[in-house]
Amino acid sequence: MTLCDSHCHFFSANFFRTLGRDAGVTDDAAVSLPARLSWDAPATDEALADRWVAELDARSVSRAMLIASVPGDEASVASAVARHRDRFVGAFMFNPAAPHPPAGPAPSVTARLERSFVELGLRTVCLFPAMHHYRLDDERVEAVFAAAEAHGCAVFVHCGVLSVGVRKKLGLPSRFDLRLGDPLAVAAVAVRHPSVPVIIPHFGAGFFREALMAADQAANIVLDSSSSNGWIKLHHGLTLRDAFARAVDCVGPTRILFGTDSSFFPRGWQKAILETQRGICGELGLDVAAQDAIFGGNFNRIFG
């Protein structure tokens, strides 16, 4: 069975330096912040990419999507993809509502995405509306979907509960508006761009029913299974096994992407999440073809 991970974060040196500016760090945050967290410093983008490949090899993972986890860090993931093109698909966090520099005209969303999709070769744009405070019916979001459609790329939209562990560990505020991450709003734009694969991670992260409704409405929506799915505690009596069973019943195994939400070292790739989810699929009696789709086939179909 081919194994692919649709959700890994690439915590580059630039990622930590961006956080360092928020935290008021005056030294090299790419060294000091990992030390404060008891994590390994990332070194260069190329070195981190090589470490990820070694980690995937050790866990028999064929391919993974690496996410640049702050806006403006696209080049870091692009370096990793260029170095190991057969192993990585590049994704990047993008804020369509970001303020533009005071000097000169504001570049359009389309122009901002052109570099990431065309020059850098990244394949998925990641939207976090609750984090960046914009509505999914904003015309700038429509422009994101149109650009993804034009370049044959995917759109990832984080919905529901949003907690950024590294910010919490560093004591940084996270002023999110969870009302903005509604899967039903994702469906409204997804149906206008049926050729664009639209990924809703963590089974909707608490908006489980809404995520299933959205996927029922828009056939191009797929659900990723990543993380420990701690949002389950918000639904009385629901288990992760139940969530898998209902998702398979509602959208079928061809619209579920396995993911771990792995991010930092030395923890590395989270094998326990794979073991838990494979065990659930076995308990549900999913056949080999269904499990192959969830754990690798769907990823390869979407990303080639």
Mean pLDDT in residue range 141-147: 97
| Domain 4-303: top CATH class | alpha beta
Q: What is the pLDDT of residue 102?
A: 65
What residues does each domain of the chain span?
4-303
Does residue 104 surpass a pLDDT of 80?
A: no
- Band (pLDDT 50/70/90 cuts) for residue 226 is very high
Mean pLDDT in residue range 81-94: 98
pLDDT in tens, 152-167: 999 999 999 998 889 9
- Band (pLDDT 50/70/90 cuts) for residue 7 is very high
Instruction: Give the rounded percent of residues in the chain with a pLDDT score beyond 70.
Output: 98
- Band (pLDDT 50/70/90 cuts) for residue 101 is low
Does residue 8 surpass a pLDDT of 80?
A: yes
The answer to whether the pTM exceeds 0.85 is yes
Q: What is the pLDDT of residue 105?
A: 72
Does residue 150 surpass a pLDDT of 70?
A: yes
Residue for token pair 């549900």: 284
Does residue 103 surpass a pLDDT of 70?
A: no
Does residue 96 surpass a pLDDT of 90?
A: yes
Does residue 66 surpass a pLDDT of 90?
A: yes
Q: What is the pLDDT of residue 163?
A: 86
pLDDT in tens, 169-224: 898 888 999 999 999 999 999 999 999 999 999 999 999 999 999 999 999 999 99
Residue-averaged pLDDT of the chain: 96
What are the C-alpha distances in Å from 95 to residues 39, 136, 251, 287? 27, 12, 29, 40
Tokens describing residue 104: 């000169």
pLDDT in tens, 196-209: 999 999 999 999 99
Mean pLDDT in residue range 13-33: 94
